Amino acid sequence: MALRSLTRHTLRNATLGFRGLQTFSLPDLPYDYGALEPAISGEIMQLHHQKHHQTYITNYNKALEQLDAAVSKGDASTVVKLQSAIKFNGEEGGGEPPKGSLGSAIDSNFGSLEALIQKINAEGAALQGSGWVWLAADKELKRLVIETTLNQDPLVTKGPSLVPLLGIDVWEHAYYLQYKNVRPDYLKNIWKVINWKYASEVYDKEFP
């Protein structure tokens, strides 16, 4: 079930309550709030992490407590947390283009890194409302795909064999304070801090 696919981050932050129910705490970011400037302002990072992400975690814990009565609710919140964990894998001084097997996979699937970035940005900008845009690896078809999901829908709703490598949050709260309504600018700049190392690690694990 969803619990089995928890990432390292969330497992590390789970503590057992007295009833044996796991409760989760907000994972720390591996960098300062201001580390992703000027692509993403410190203010946005702090709000996004301490308010939005924290709220999802609080609600998830609450939902877990009611797990007996409301199984589906618990699942939805899980993935929200997971998605946030993946997105917050930005990196200080990141943006270095991927090398190795992920790099060549990108070239063979999309032509070039620029083409990939353009496509992702186009999909992200075209998304109506709130959602995420993903670069995912399809385990079955053994290729890379770009997907979008609405609100906090998990990537698996687009395909059970999809493994997320990169996720970009295009909810307005993710960029509004800095970029206002100009979502394309946010999408252009976020590539400067994308953590390709993490994406490569995940990719290499799926396709050794």
Partner 1 sequence: MNLLSCSSNNCVSSYSLLASTDLSLKSPKTSIELSQLGWKQRKGFESNRSRKSSIVGYYGLKRPPYKLDALEPYISQRMIEVHWGGHHNGYVEALNKQLEKNDVLYGCTLDELIKVTYNNGNPLPEFSNAAEVWNHDFFWESMEPGGGGMPTLGLLQQIEKDFASFANFKEKFARAALTLFGSGWVWLVLKREKRCLAILKTSNAINPLVWNDIPITGLDLWEHAYYLDYKNDKAKYVNTFMNHLVSWNAAAARLVRAQAFVNLGEPKIPVA
Instruction: Give the interface with partner 1 as residue ranges (CB under 8 A).
Output: 47, 51-52, 55, 128-131, 150-152, 171-173, 176-177, 180-182
Q: How far apart are CA 48 and CA 112, in angstroms?
A: 31
Minimal distance in Å, beta carbon 151 to partner 1?
4
Q: How far apart are CA 5 and CA 67, in angstroms?
A: 18
173 belongs to an annotated ligand binding site: yes
CB-nearer residue toward partner 1: 124 or 131: 131
Using DSSP's 3-state secondary structure scheme, residue 100 falls into: helix
**Residue pair 131/148 in contact by the 8 Å Cβ criterion:** yes
CB-nearer residue toward partner 1: 171 or 198: 171
Q: How far apart are CA 148 and CA 128, in angstroms?
A: 10
48 belongs to an annotated ligand binding site: yes
Return the residue matching tokens 């907000």.
26
**Residue pair 183/174 in contact by the 8 Å Cβ criterion:** no
CB-nearer residue toward partner 1: 67 or 182: 182
Minimal distance in Å, beta carbon 197 to partner 1?
30
CB-nearer residue toward partner 1: 14 or 47: 47
Minimal distance in Å, beta carbon 28 to partner 1?
20
